[in-house]
Structure 1
Amino acid sequence: MRVLISGASIAGPVTAYWLTRYGFDVTVVERAPELRQTLGHAVDLFTPSYDITEKMGLRDAVEKLATGTDRVRFVRADRPKPIEIDMTKVYGALSDRHVEIMRNDLSRVYYEATLRDVEYRFADSITAIGEDGTVSFERAPDERFDLVIGADGLHSNVRNLTFDKSQEHYLGACLAVFSVPKSLCENGVMDTHFDVGRLAGLYTAEPLDDGRAAFMWRTQPQPDVHYRDTAAQRRLVIEAFRGMTPAVDSWLARFDENTPLYYDTITQLRLDTWSKGRVTLVGDAGFCPGPAVGGSTSLAVVGAYVLAGELAKAKGDHAVAYPAYEAIMLDHVRLSRQIALNNGSSLVPRSKLALTVIPALARTLSALPTGIGRTIARLTQGRLRKYDQLTYPDYADLLVRA
């Protein structure tokens, strides 16, 4: 059975990996001319996605590329004295297993694990999908596939070709990341400056040759800026953060038209279904809870694993597999949406009170021994351990190859 996947970032390669293990013939098409490695931000794998990555034999590869950022130094715009927090204890309370890794590094690990079995077609994109599975491309001739999977991110081409575009919900904030010299950063530490409605951070990672300046800020209405218009995005960042603190101004001074930039709105997808005919969506393409605030990477990995497993279980019958996949993932998606809404409120303070409360709570948790912090988190009836609540079936008996 032939499967076409659009997107070669996270969900695409993970879905492809498992489908090939179940005997499917998989092709991945990617708009970029090569695997995207230009600029990215740090992402998290929590217990469920960490375990799936371990099942893929990739735990050591991922751990080797961990960012190594284990401390956060909070600086309030109106108070120069910083508060330092041990993030290993915070993450230890939130999840039994956790690793932070740069998104591009994680993408490359998953991609390389599939090279032996998956056909990748770069520099091409889908332009139409017929009901019989005939797919038209920008460059390649038409071709028929049994199934089509959109794993092409928040701005999914497959979703736009198949579903109503009105399912995107702006959460009132924007995210931007740009490259800075590594010499500005301290290994293992993220310097975070925050004020009401805005947050700016500076960090690097052991595998990186540079550093990252990351910005998140609240703004209404949603900026009318195309996600590929880097000049307009740069102006937005500078206008939002100029004058915040001398340190942040020094980061912005290095931000010119040649600086690599990642920008997006914090947008949540709320589709009633992720499937239509032979087509389904996975990861941010189908259920993005909100970039950087909802654990979308972990959710994408779990979704990819479940989708592939349900297709194997149904022997490729999408009329059976797709509804089963959605039924398993629905509660997880709803939970991640709520996490995104909560994190959006806490990461970027809404008030002067929040400027004090948020770092104080994190500092208290980081001061506790990891075991005690984990116990307290469990006693909150799971409210602090939502990332570990993503459960999924075991499809090991369906494997046709190791």
Structure 2
Amino acid sequence: MSRSVLISGAGIGGSTLAYWLGRNGFEVTVVERATGQRSSGNPIDVRGPALGVVEEMGILPELRKAATGVGRLTFVDAAGRRKASVATSDSSGDAPGAEFELSRTELARILLGAARDHADIRWGESISGITPGASNVAVTFRNSAPQTFDYVIGADGLHSNVRRLVFGEEREFVRHIGMYVATLPVQRAYGDPDEVVMYNTPGRSISVHPAGGKPLAALMFRSPAVPGYDYRALDQHKRLVLEAFEGRTGSFGEVLDQVRAAEDIYFDAVSRVRLPRWSKGRVALLGDAGSSLSLFGDGSSLAIAGAHTLAAELSSNPDDPDTALRRYEQRHRTLTTPKQRMFRPAAALIVPGSRLGIRLRDTAVRLMPGV
């Protein structure tokens, strides 16, 4: 007998899970609040356990073809002169088992393409209510008729709707850790085709990634939690970015003009998500919804690996949710827990908090072997 699964979120984790569950004989429905894929979002690495997963899916060649080819991060002064540079990865990404980088948009597109033949994907739809039961989960939707499913999985990100409906309010599990980030497409790159160029002022970082000919800017700044912050309010996001960076852009001044004109900006607080359990009955969380350390935590690779583990455990124990979801969590926490400790060293490299911190960072990078 086929088992039915509802996945909230058609992003990286949700698409990967939809592929594997559908391939393993589950009836899969995916709902996604957005009406289509967005164009913003920082480039990300595919590495570690995610490499084996995408290879088994048969999409590794397509992902490598979409790789940015970027392998170096260069720090510049206000005039755009190079101060220090550090290798970020093997820019070729062609060796077997080698990690590689591509845009979040491309990764999501390719994973979703693989999932389409294995799932019913509903754009512009979201969950309005979840009632867990002993043998199934009753779900109501914003725009369609209620249904019941054997399992419901929240793969809906940092601001997970499933987590809110079943586990509790966001404030119980999500902690702002002192930084905000914005990304958006821009008109030109500032360095070589294999190079990200970054300029820092104390507590701020502005960079442009060439992204394979589709340049992306990232603007990060340290800040306490903003009162009244709304992660969906584009006008507020623009205001916060402009206030943080006006007069502090060095040679990247035109990026702020593009912020003002942008119709789509990815903007959010850098946050840590921690829950004592990732499941309740037949409802579970995947990816950032359950274990985010946004921006610095290899979230996309972990979401791919976690989706594969979750699908394997549900497939092995389809009628035993306690065993399946407990084993999924035990296995996957061994990957996510160490990553949640990496925020401070990563933040010190990318967004030093003082002029002294910037000088020390640049000096340390120049002294690194092979730089």
Output the TM-score relative to the length of structure 1.
0.84
- Note if 1:269 corresponds to 2:281: no
The answer (yes or no) to whether the contact 1:148–1:280 under 8 Å persists in 2 is yes
The answer (yes or no) to whether the contact 1:171–1:267 under 8 Å persists in 2 is yes
> Residues 99 and 70 from structure 1, CA distance in 2 versus in 1: closer, same or farther, beyond 3 angstroms?
same
What do the CA deviations read for 1:347-387 (whole angstroms, capped 9, x no partner)? 2112333313333444444626xxxxxxxxxxxxxxxxxxx
- Note if 1:347 corresponds to 2:350: yes
| Paired amino acid for 2:201 | D
Q: Which moved more, 1:348-357 or 1:70-79?
A: 70-79
Distance between the aligned counterparts of 2:78 and 2:274, measured in 1? 35
| Paired amino acid for 1:22 | N
Counterpart of 1:305 in structure 2 is 308
The answer (yes or no) to whether the contact 1:72–1:84 under 8 Å persists in 2 is yes
> Residues 174 and 259 from structure 1, CA distance in 2 versus in 1: closer, same or farther, beyond 3 angstroms?
same
Distance between the aligned counterparts of 2:221 and 2:319, measured in 1? 44
What do the CA deviations read for 1:58-116 (whole angstroms, capped 9, x no partner)? 11011011112222220145995432333336999xx9621111111001111111111
Question: 1:170 Cα shift?
Answer: 0.5
Counterpart of 1:398 in structure 2 is none
The gaps in structure 2 that reach 5 residues or longer are none
Q: Superposition pairs for residues 242-321 of structure 1, below 5 Å?
A: 242-289=246-293, 291-321=294-324
Question: 1:126 Cα shift?
Answer: 0.5
Distance between the aligned counterparts of 2:369 and 2:10, measured in 1? 36
Counterpart of 1:400 in structure 2 is none
Q: Superposition pairs for residues 105-116 of structure 1, below 5 Å?
A: 105-116=106-117
The answer (yes or no) to whether the contact 2:176–2:225 under 8 Å persists in 1 is no
The answer (yes or no) to whether the contact 2:314–2:324 under 8 Å persists in 1 is yes
The answer (yes or no) to whether the contact 1:65–1:207 under 8 Å persists in 2 is no
> Residues 65 and 91 from structure 1, CA distance in 2 versus in 1: closer, same or farther, beyond 3 angstroms?
closer
Counterpart of 1:205 in structure 2 is 211
Question: 1:319 Cα shift?
Answer: 1.4
Question: 1:178 Cα shift?
Answer: 2.0
> Residues 281 and 216 from structure 1, CA distance in 2 versus in 1: closer, same or farther, beyond 3 angstroms?
same
Distance between the aligned counterparts of 1:62 and 1:112, measured in 2? 12
Query: Per the alignment, in what secondary structure is the counterpart of residue 5 of structure 1?
Result: strand
Query: Per the alignment, in what secondary structure is the counterpart of residue 367 of structure 1?
Result: coil
| Paired amino acid for 1:131 | P
| Paired amino acid for 2:61 | D
What do the CA deviations read for 1:227-256 (whole angstroms, capped 9, x no partner)? 111111111111111222431323213322
Distance between the aligned counterparts of 2:361 and 2:17, measured in 1? 37
- Note if 1:16 corresponds to 2:22: no
> Residues 295 and 363 from structure 1, CA distance in 2 versus in 1: closer, same or farther, beyond 3 angstroms?
farther
Identity over aligned residues, as a percent? 33
Query: Per the alignment, in what secondary structure is the counterpart of residue 130 of structure 1?
Result: strand
- Note if 1:45 corresponds to 2:46: yes
Q: Superposition pairs for residues 221-232 of structure 1, below 5 Å?
A: 221-232=225-236
- Note if 1:162 corresponds to 2:200: no
The gaps in structure 1 that reach 5 residues or longer are 369-402
Distance between the aligned counterparts of 1:257 and 1:245, measured in 2? 17
Distance between the aligned counterparts of 1:26 and 1:125, measured in 2? 15
The answer (yes or no) to whether the contact 1:27–1:120 under 8 Å persists in 2 is yes
Question: 1:324 Cα shift?
Answer: 0.9
Query: Per the alignment, in what secondary structure is the counterpart of residue 125 of structure 2?
Result: coil
Question: 1:123 Cα shift?
Answer: 1.2
What do the CA deviations read for 1:246-301 (whole angstroms, capped 9, x no partner)? 31323213322444311000011011111011100000111111x21111111111
Output the TM-score relative to the length of structure 2.
0.91
Query: Per the alignment, in what secondary structure is the counterpart of residue 237 of structure 1?
Result: helix
Distance between the aligned counterparts of 2:92 and 2:319, measured in 1? 38
Q: Which moved more, 1:75-84 or 1:21-30?
A: 75-84
- Note if 1:220 corresponds to 2:230: no
| Paired amino acid for 1:327 | Q
Counterpart of 2:360 in structure 1 is 357
Query: Per the alignment, in what secondary structure is the counterpart of residue 332 of structure 2?
Result: helix
| Paired amino acid for 1:42 | P
Q: Number of residue pairs matched?
A: 362
What do the CA deviations read for 1:148-168 (whole angstroms, capped 9, x no partner)? 000011111111111122111
- Note if 1:123 corresponds to 2:124: yes
Query: Per the alignment, in what secondary structure is the counterpart of residue 159 of structure 1?
Result: helix
